[in-house]
Amino acid sequence: MGLKHKGYHKAILPNAIRLIGEEVPGFNSCTVGIFVFTGSRDEKPNESGIAHFTEHMLFKGTEKRTSLDISKAIDNVGGILNAYTNKEYTCYYAKVVSDKMDFALEILSDMFLNSIYPKVELEKEKEVIIQEIHMVNDSPDELVHDLLLEALYGKKGLGSFILGSEETVRELDSNDIRRFVDEFYLNERIVIACAGNFEWEKFRNKAEELFSIRESKIINFPRRESDVIPAKINVEKEHLNQVHVAIGFPAISIYDDDKYPLKLLNYILGVGMSSILFQELREISAYVYSTYSSIHLYQDTGFLYIYFATTPDKKGLCMDKIENILQFLKDGNINDEDVKNAKEQIKGYTLLSLDSSDAKFSYNARSELYFNRYIPIEAELEKIYLLRKSDVIDVANKYLDLSKAGIACVEPINE
């Protein structure tokens, strides 16, 4: 079970589904939900978007509830019911006042185990998702992030769009969804989690009653491997005033210890208003309104990226500035105070971000999915605090190479 922690619990059902919970008595709420360790990277290219489409369809009716019944049930207790799909996992969750935990768990189990994917709802939901695809295509700051994954990993796996395309979504039917759930929603890849003000024993008993009936299947889950093939992708759009640019530097997986100095480097580079990117591109040069850096880590790979948006005449100037910033970092021009401040910033942001039942629920479930154990946030922060300036400079030299970067750009049509 890994490191012990007051209030944290774990149990494994006979059918291999894992239950985890963290009791936090001071909260008014608890968040309960289901994580499935499958996402868009596991899809076949001709079924791009099916993981996300499946997530939508679980809200569209069961053997005993219509779609409206599900919505009313959660609204009537003042709760929140939602879901999301990303590259490697899918999450279904409900946040409710503490005395409604078992009620929320029952609704989630009904959706998860008894969805019937009604044809009328399925056809309507296709149109909804196609509108979502158009919305992203009309939002250059979102689109450029999707294109960056394609620029780094090609058109399949991690590089495929989570929403899929209009063509692939239109082709999907209820049999495709049933087969996808059958092949990918495997019990050993399912974690049912709860965090907040609840009683573990009550949660465990209810979850066991509801989910132990789910059949366990032995299926070989496809191996997750990505070819990193950095490319440059430019998309021109009408009615834009700005160029949106994302630069991705191939880095390491979630299991590599370089993630700690890389996180420190990321904060110094582009997190917050005192970061080098924000100061150089916005405060000093006034070239941009928005710029930042961030990190995405997966099971086999990962990347650090820089984003900025500016008018076409300033794009080259921004790229020059960024090249200088990268060299500045690689040359070791940061000082001990920069590193110390970044450590405090990470500590503050991290602890503040976990000040809710849904955040604790998500953090704990992801630890269980990726590491099969509880990882106290204090242990993660301690690893950051042990780092030195030289560690940050080392990862800057290891990974911040513009010649090996993938670059995505969404810009106005060049007239």
Q: Is residue 227 in a domain?
A: no
Long-range contact pairs involving 344-353 (C-beta distance under 8 Å, separation at least 24)? 345/267, 345/271, 345/272, 346/263, 346/264, 346/267, 346/381, 346/384, 347/381, 347/384, 349/271, 350/377, 350/380, 350/381, 351/377
**Torsion on CA atoms 118, 121, 122, 128, rounded to nearest 10:** -160
- Residue at 218 is within a domain: no
Q: Are residues 285 and 166 part of one domain?
A: no
Of 146, 181, 211, which residue sits at a domain end? Answer: 211
Nearest to 18 by CA among 168, 212, 195, 182: 212
Examine the fold and report which residue of 181, 211, 241 is the final residue of a domain before the chain moves on: 211
- The enclosing domain of 77 has a CATH number of 3.30.830.10
Which pLDDT does position 415 carry in this prediction?
61
Same domain, 139 and 265: no
Question: Does the residue 2 lie in any domain?
Answer: no
Query: Among residues 35, 83, 386, which one has the least CA distance to residue 194?
Result: 35
Quickly count: other Cβ atoms within 10 Å of residue 394's Cβ.
Answer: 16
169 within domain boundaries:
yes
- Of 23, 43, 47, 55, which is the active-site residue? 55
Reading the block at residue 94, the tokens are 């409900």
Instruction: Determine the structural domain holding residue 49 and report its residue range.
Output: 8-211
One domain for residues 66 and 196: yes
338 and 394 assigned to the same domain: yes
- Whether 217 is in a domain gets the answer no
- Domain boundary among the residues 159, 176, 211 is at 211
User: Do 248 and 197 share a structural domain?
Assistant: no
In the three-class reduction of DSSP (H, G, I as helix; E, B as strand; rest coil), residue 65 is classed as: coil
Select from 35, 153, 53 the least CA-distant residue to 89.
35
Residues 291 and 173 in one domain: no
- 52 backbone dihedrals φ, ψ, rounded to 5°: -70, -40
Stretches where the chain sits below pLDDT 70 are 1-5, 415
Domain identity same for 206 and 237: no
DSSP state of 91: E
Q: Does the residue 200 lie in any domain?
A: yes
Give a yes or no: residue 225 inside a domain.
no
Is there a single domain that holds both residue 184 and residue 78? yes
Residues 206, 324 share a domain: no
Is the domain of 240 the same as that of 190? no
Look at residue 289 in the predicted model and tell me its pLDDT: 98
Total structural domains within the chain: 2
- Asked, for residue 60, whether it belongs to a domain, the answer is yes
55 is catalytic: yes
Same domain, 291 and 367: yes
Q: In terms of domains, do 273 and 193 share one?
A: no
Contact of 329 with 400, CB cutoff 8 Å: yes
